[in-house]
């Protein structure tokens, strides 16, 4: 699948991501995409096998861009840095979160495994942070997943009516993530 990402021009991926964010994967047509990038509809299939493969390629590109942004960013390699990175990424690239959250459901099982592998690479820095902060935590993978869910939920707070204070959101997300690092008393 990595070769498909390399074969698909960046302009086509960007246009497909924008169209999916605007109207959704189901409503987006390959004709609309071809028109947007200035190609004949049949020419799209030179770059992608089908619409569902295009969706996977777009989602993998989103994940790769996030991974690259983390590695190239100037964020501290700790929980605060990772949370701040993810929250800022949500704000600066709102379509990414929406695509990953809502459109991934259209992938088949094989494609979902490809996306899950890429998301696993994205969560690796957080896994390392968790293991360094709490080496005896019983289930670091579930803790990582819970933290990513808390971070993802912050995006929903921005869409609620009224003013959303980013400082408040960041402080609450960090507090919840820190709480997840504490061993549970069962």
In tens, the pLDDT along 105-128 reads 999 999 999 999 999 999 999 999
Residues 6+ apart with CB under 8 A from 57: 1, 4, 5, 8, 13, 16, 48
* Helices 10-23 and 30-37, packing angle to 10 deg: 130
- For residue 2, the model assigns a pLDDT of 46
Q: Give residue 29's pLDDT.
A: 94
- What does pTM read for this prediction? 0.89
> What whole-number percentage of the chain has pLDDT above 90?
76
**Angstrom distance (rounded) from CA 103 to CA 97:** 10
Mean pLDDT, residues 102-106: 93
Q: Domain ranges in the chain?
A: 2-180
User: Which has the higher per-residue pLDDT, 2 or 122?
Assistant: 122
Q: In the chain, count H helices and then E strands.
A: 10, 0
Residues 71 and 81 sit within 8 Å (Cβ to Cβ)? no
Neighbours of 120 (CB within 10 A): 13
In this model, does residue 6 exceed pLDDT 60? no
Residue 5 has pLDDT above 60, yes or no: no
pLDDT tens string 130-179? 999 999 888 999 999 999 999 999 988 777 777 678 898 999 999 999 99
User: What digits encode the pLDDT tens for the residues 31-81?
Assistant: 999 999 999 988 888 888 899 999 999 999 999 999 999 999 999 999 999
Nearest one of 18, 16, 4 to 47, comparing CA atoms: 4
- Distance, CA of 47 to CA of 156 (rounded, Å): 34
SS3 content of the chain, % helix, strand, coil (to 5): 75, 0, 25
Q: What is the pLDDT of residue 8?
A: 85
Choosing among 1.10.357.10, 2.70.150.10, 1.10.3720.10, 1.10.10.10, the CATH entry for 2-180 is: 1.10.357.10
Q: Which pLDDT score, from 0 to 100, does residue 72 have?
A: 96
Mean pLDDT of the chain: 91
User: If you count them, how many residues does the chain have?
Assistant: 186
Residues 127/142, Cβ–Cβ less than 8 Å? no
């Amino acid at each position: 699948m990595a070769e498909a990402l390399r074969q698909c021009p960046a302009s086509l991926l960007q246009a497909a991501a924008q169209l999916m964010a605007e109207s959704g994967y189901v409503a987006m047509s390959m004709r609309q995409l071809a028109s947007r990038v200035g190609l004949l509809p049949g020419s799209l299939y030179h770059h992608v096998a089908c619409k569902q493969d295009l969706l996977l390629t777009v989602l993998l590109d989103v994940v790769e861009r996030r991974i690259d942004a983390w590695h190239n960013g100037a964020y501290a390699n700790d929980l605060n840095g990772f949370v701040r990175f993810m929250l800022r990424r949500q704000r600066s690239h709102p379509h990414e979160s929406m695509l990953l959250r809502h459109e991934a459901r259209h992938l088949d099982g094989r494609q979902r495994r490809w996306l899950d592998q890429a998301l696993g690479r994205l969560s690796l820095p957080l896994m390392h942070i968790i293991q360094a902060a709490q080496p005896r935590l019983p289930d670091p993978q579930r803790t990582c997943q819970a933290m990513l869910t808390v971070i993802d939920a912050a995006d929903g707070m921005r869409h609620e009516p009224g003013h959303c204070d980013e400082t408040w959101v960041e402080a609450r997300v960090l507090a919840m993530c820190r709480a997840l690092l504490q061993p549970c008393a069962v």
